[in-house]
Amino acid sequence: MAANGTLIGDEGYDRAGEVKQFDDSKLGVKGLVDSGLSSIPRIFIHPPETLQQLNPTTRPDAEPIPTIDLSGPRAAVVDQVSGACRKFGFFQITNHGVPSVVLDRTIAAVKAFHEQPVEAKARFYRREMGHGVSYLSNVDLYTSKAASWRDTIQVRLGPVAAEGDEVPEICREEIAAWNKEIQRLGEEMLGMVSEGLGLPAGKLKEMTCLEGRIMAGHYYPPCPQPDLTVGLTSHSDPGVLTVVLQDHIGGLQVKHGDAWVDVKPVPGALVINVGDLLQIISNEEYKSVDHRVLANPSDEPRVSIAVFLNPSNREGVFGPLPELVSPEKPALYKKFTFSEFMMRFFTKGLEGKTLVNYYKLQ
């Protein structure tokens, strides 16, 4: 290492310039792969401390993430959901009522969008917040230590959905059908999560937690050097609940204790995870946990589609619910508006749990 703290060989490396050049190209990672490169650009190479955490990736004896069959007796299912939210912050669900044809078509449509020529996608490429639809590579491209090997299409599903003709035609009908299923399933999951806290089933819905929905359709192209980068850096989600549809490739991992646990794809299942806001609202009864996606080592792309359930009441004040605060367990977090909360999330970058820590009462 040189005296000024830069790595030997760093002379002449203009990271900020290379990031901007990549962003301005609107190629995305898919465009880089299509260009035939055999090694990844330097902006995607993660620092040694991040890469060391990837190996070994998981402990073989680590407890698996639970899979919950929603067709069981409701009281038993609520207990299982509540237990998973408390212990893991993550679980998979089967018999959720979403037809398999809808799952398959949603994956295929998002894949088809990303596999269009660059020119067809470029008109959607933007970083400004507030658009109904945006296509970009790495939401935290300018704030992260290193870029990750993925591209994303984001679509606002609520409270005011993107206009129909804003959504790319190649995936428009499928995303509209997916949103309908998410509204039904989201209401069901929020009800179970509420009941698991001893609250009325409609509590979180009344707090507008189903209305603010954002879909992120992630595309993880094959990576020529998967040991040097990641698909999605370790982070926790900021909102209430996240519903994830993943394909058969795998790569999603969850931090449980001191181990990383694979969330192995279960045919027809959906993944549900607790967000930071739900951890705060529940006064830490439920846990929001770090998760990540490894760079894709396979010969075919990986597709996953996350829908983030957030309050639409952005100026509403949130904090631990009074019903969950007592002399024995006082409030663990201060109160804030949701708009302030999200602004802090997007300015800090994805990595780490600083968002929850920032609002914690000492």
Enclosing H/E stretch for 95? none
Query: How do strand 67-69 and strand 90-94 relate by DSSP bridges?
Result: parallel
- pTM of the complete model: 0.93
More confident residue, 349 or 172: 172
Q: Regarding predicted confidence, which is higher, 277 or 357?
A: 277
Q: What CATH architecture applies to the domain 15-315?
A: Sandwich (2.60)
**pLDDT tens digits, 88-112:** 999 999 999 999 999 999 999 999 9
Residue 357 scores a pLDDT above 90: no
pLDDT at 10: 56
Does the pLDDT value for residue 4 go beyond 80? no
What does the alpha-carbon distance between residue 183 and residue 158 come to, in Å, rounded to a whole number? 10
pLDDT reading at 6 higher than 50: no
d(CA 237, CA 254): 12
Amino acid identity of 173?
A: E
Confidence of residue 291 (pLDDT cuts 50, 70, 90): very high
The model's pLDDT over 200-249, given as tens digits with 9 standing for 90+, comes to: 999 999 999 999 999 999 999 999 999 999 999 999 999 999 999 999 99
Using an 8 Å Cβ cutoff, are 346 and 238 in contact?
no
Give residue for tokens 């760093």: 10
Tokens read off for 277: 């806001």
For 35-93, write each residue's pLDDT tens digit. 999 999 999 999 998 888 886 656 666 778 999 999 999 999 999 999 999 999 999 99
Mean pLDDT, all residues of the chain: 92
The C-alpha atoms of residue 286 and residue 190 are separated, in whole angstroms, by 13
Please tell me the predicted confidence (pLDDT) of residue 189. 98
| Rounded average pLDDT over 137-142 | 93
Instruction: Report the distance separating Cα 28 and Cα 120, nearest Å.
Output: 12
Please name which of 191, 187, 210, 216 lies closest in space to residue 309, comparing C-alpha atoms. Answer: 210
- The pLDDT confidence band at residue 11, using thresholds 50, 70 and 90, is low
pLDDT at 292 over 60: yes
Please report how the helices 172-196 and 100-114 are oriented relative to each other, as an axis angle in degrees rounded to 10: 120
In this predicted structure, what is the pLDDT of residue 342?
Answer: 85
- The answer on pLDDT for 128 being more than 90 is no
For 138-205, give the DSSP string: -TTTTTSSS--S-EEEEEEEESSPPPGGGS-GGGHHHHHHHHHHHHHHHHHHHHHHHHHTTS-TTHHH
Q: What is the CB neighbour count within 10 angstroms for residue 101?
A: 9
Lowest-confidence range among 11-20, 133-142, 271-280, 311-320? 11-20
Which tokens sit at 38? 């055999």
7 phi/psi in degrees, rounded to 5: -70, 145
Checking if the pLDDT of 129 tops 90, the result is no
pLDDT bracket for residue 348 (50, 70, 90): low
Has residue 164 got a pLDDT over 90? no
